[in-house]
């Protein structure tokens, strides 16, 4: 049975290539705080220095957590958010020493910091930042095979889910690329050698994209295969060899439905046993592909954003092209770059899909669409839904 793997939305960004961080619930930390004496009040000065010392203790633990993650691009913003209120992370503390040096008060503390709460706060801060940024969203359907045998999802012997999780963690933490759940979308190997026509490739991408749980929220889809092939013992050592082969294709969705990137990689990996070598071949194939995937997506995303994003405006419940489609199309042409349009059917209803280009974010597009529909909304429009780069306009 063909293996189907789906990658879920990830908030945390721990990298599997970083040294493992041992998480104890409480971490003992020594810290020092300083404050300037104002108005001759030493008590107020010591209190201020104590608060600074406890903040420093929490900051030490948050720095450790952030360093363990892969190139978190918004580390300063994240730290600022979790340090607004530090009391929730401190289980207990003790003042070790209080001194006055010149016009400064110095307080040293030993504090027990709740590492779990710090990590949860970091994850929440990252999730909030991701919602505020206009970043590309990606889905992935990747099949893993060992010696021609498909590896089922969650196979603990080969850590396939760990490899997929690591892909999402590094993409989100290092490149601000958000991975979305692709559900049970079909895994298809794509031939881009030239044998498949452009029309056939577009149709293939369209077919797979239509299976996504929320097609409009995915900008790019990575599809393909990672294969590990046993190569026996290394003649020069006691280790075993495995050949890892990666063939991935990056498709741009949102009405474009064209391939914008290709990842082909071959590498030989050593392990203590044959199974260990095969396991490493799969993990390393994903690891070495992350940077290539990210760079190709970001290059295309930047180009797309600078030139204006592509959106689909889908009219549902069309009864008359003249009385319904034509007025809406005219309004859109006045505010957006109209590309093309075509009729079709969806869920038994007649539809008309228009490809438009708009220079702005999704939220700005939604505002622009409502402005464009304003002259005809009372007469023609029943409801409007915007999901990612797809707007659905339900007609009366």
44-86 pLDDT, tens per residue? 899 999 999 998 999 888 888 777 654 445 566 677 777 767 7
Model pTM score: 0.52
Domains, in order of start, for the chain: 26-130 (3.10.129.140), 134-306 (3.40.50), 309-395 (3.30.70.260)
Give the gyration radius of the chain's Cα atoms: 27
pLDDT at 275 over 80: yes
Q: In 10 A of CB 52, how many CB atoms?
A: 19
283-299 pLDDT, tens per residue? 888 778 888 888 888 88
CA separation for the pair 192, 178 (Å, rounded)? 26
CA separation for the pair 354, 23 (Å, rounded)? 52
**Nearest CA to 113 among 83, 94, 141, 92?**
92
350-370 pLDDT, tens per residue? 889 888 888 777 777 888 888
């Amino acid at each position: 049975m063909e293996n189907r793997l789906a990658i879920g939305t990830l908030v945390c960004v721990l990298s599997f290539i970083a040294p493992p961080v041992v998480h104890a619930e409480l971490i003992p930390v020594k810290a020092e705080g300083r404050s300037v004496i104002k108005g001759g009040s030493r008590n107020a000065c010591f209190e201020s220095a104590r608060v600074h010392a406890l903040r420093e203790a929490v900051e030490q633990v948050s720095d450790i957590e952030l360093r363990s993650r892969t190139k978190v691009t918004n580390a300063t913003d994240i730290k600022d958010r979790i340090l607004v209120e530090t009391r929730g992370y401190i289980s207990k503390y003790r003042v070790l020493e209080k001194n006055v040096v010149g016009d400064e008060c110095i307080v040293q503390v030993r504090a027990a910091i709740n590492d779990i709460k710090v990590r949860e706060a970091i994850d929440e801060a990252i999730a909030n930042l991701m919602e505020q940024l206009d970043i590309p969203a990606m889905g992935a359907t990747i099949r893993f095979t060992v010696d021609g045998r498909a590896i089922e999802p969650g196979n603990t012997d080969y850590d396939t889910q760990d490899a997929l999780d690591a892909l999402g963690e590094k993409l989100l933490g290092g490149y601000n690329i958000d991975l979305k759940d692709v559900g049970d979308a079909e895994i298809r190997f794509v031939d881009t050698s030239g044998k498949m026509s452009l029309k056939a490739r577009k149709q293939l991408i369209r077919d797979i994209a239509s299976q996504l749980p929320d097609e409009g929220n995915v900008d790019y889809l990575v599809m393909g295969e990672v294969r590990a092939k046993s190569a026996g013992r290394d003649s020069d050592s006691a280790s075993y060899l495995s050949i890892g082969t990666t063939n991935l294709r990056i498709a741009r969705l949102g009405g474009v439905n064209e391939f914008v990137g290709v990842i082909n990689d071959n590498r030989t990996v050593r392990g203590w046993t044959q199974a260990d070598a095969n396991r490493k071949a799969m993990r390393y194939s994903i690891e070495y592909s992350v940077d290539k995937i990210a760079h190709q997506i970001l290059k295309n995303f930047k180009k797309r954003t600078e030139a204006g994003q592509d959106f689909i405006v889908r009219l549902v419940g069309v009864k008359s092209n003249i009385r319904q489609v034509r007025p809406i199309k005219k309004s859109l042409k006045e505010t957006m770059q109209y590309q093309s349009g075509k009729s079709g059917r969806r869920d038994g209803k007649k539809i008309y899909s228009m490809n438009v280009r708009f220079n702005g974010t999704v939220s700005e597009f939604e505002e622009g669409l409502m402005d464009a529909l304003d002259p005809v909304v009372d007469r023609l429009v029943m409801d409007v839904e915007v999901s990612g780069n797809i707007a659905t306009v339900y007609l009366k």
